[in-house]
Amino acid sequence: MARMIPLSVLDLSPIVQGGGPGQSLRASRELARAAERLGFRRYWLAEHHNMTGIASAATSTALAFVGDGTETIRLGAGGVMLPNHAPLIIAEQFGTLEALYPGRVDLGVGRAPGTDQITARALRRNLAGGVDQFPQDVLELIALLDDPQPGQAVRAVPGSGSKVPVWILGSSLYGAQLAAALGLPFAFASHFAPAMLDEAAGIYRRQFAPSPYGERPHLMLGLNLVAGETDAEARFLFTSLQQAFVNLHRGQPGPLPPPIDDADGRLAATVAAGSPLSKAVVGGPETVRAGLARFVADHRPDEIIVTAQIFDQARRIRSLEIASAARDALASA
């Protein structure tokens, strides 16, 4: 029997055309319930701001809503954009989640703003420190979540002593180097930035320094996975994400559009070699199984976090069902 590679779910809580944030957040909770039923390990939400197509800006609040509707699946941020926040605030927020859902909370942190520079300034009021302060902010955050020290003047309550696991998120070599140096688990954003995937993975594994947070490296890779009953159906569903990427590239982000017939192939460039979606696995059950097997063989992840921005909620859940069946088939092969 092959080693089972755990699957997790990354959700942007997409706001679809004609819908609203409340609908999206309720759909996210339903998706997390389905992921829990199907044996996915984690359900993570991402922080983005000033994006009319994403409902998860208040990430910890959205996770609390999801946690109230689930029982066992791990809940996490994929991630919190730490330059936007004081570490104490994040320690309190995720300490609160850990108090409510003990043993189920992860905290992935990244150094990007998760938005444009104007919005970043609105979030922080100024850009002093910013990304340059990121390593120090990570260490401060970890300390606030760790056991309190004698004489410690400032504590996160809740949060202090919770030891919520902290992950480094990255789409470049920087995150790999920092995660390795601190001995932390690392999640690489290969679902939208695949160009440096293999180099970042190699650096992380070679340079990893065992720490109180992990004796060996743990690499989780992002993967766009859109599954349907047939290859043709999956390709049709995938056009929503392809359109969203084209719109983002044009500086016109918006709600997730419905799928379209792309018979003329005008969206093909989004999956060309080296493009942001070039690693995507799109197809029916057999294509998905083969695509997962190839991704595992090529990149040797310890875990895969799949994401699928599918317009129709029922088909989004069905995509997870097909993915979980593919995972199980590979494990028993």
Domains in the chain and their CATH numbers? 7-229+280-332 (3.20.20.30)
Alpha-helical regions (H) of the chain: 21-37, 59-68, 87-100, 117-124, 134-145, 173-182, 197-207, 231-249, 285-299, 313-332
pLDDT, residue 289, reads 97
pLDDT, residue 136, reads 95
CA gap 54, 236 in Å, rounded: 21
pLDDT, residue 2, reads 57
pLDDT, residue 1, reads 36
DSSP 166: E
pLDDT, residue 74, reads 98
Look up residue 38 and give its two tokens: 């199907």
- List per-residue pLDDT tens for the chain, 333 residues long: 356 799 999 999 999 999 999 999 999 999 999 999 999 999 999 998 888 999 999 999 999 999 999 999 999 999 899 988 999 999 999 999 999 999 999 999 998 765 566 766 666 645 555 557 899 999 999 999 999 999 899 999 999 999 999 999 999 999 999 999 999 999 999 999 999 999 999 999 999 999 999 999 999 999 999 999 999 999 999 999 999 999 988 888 899 999 999 978 889 999 988 899 999 999 999 999 999 999 999 999 999 999 999 999 999 999 999 999 999 999 987
Q: Which residue has the tokens 């003329």?
A: 264
pLDDT, residue 273, reads 84
Is 271:243 a contact under the CB 8 Å cutoff?
no
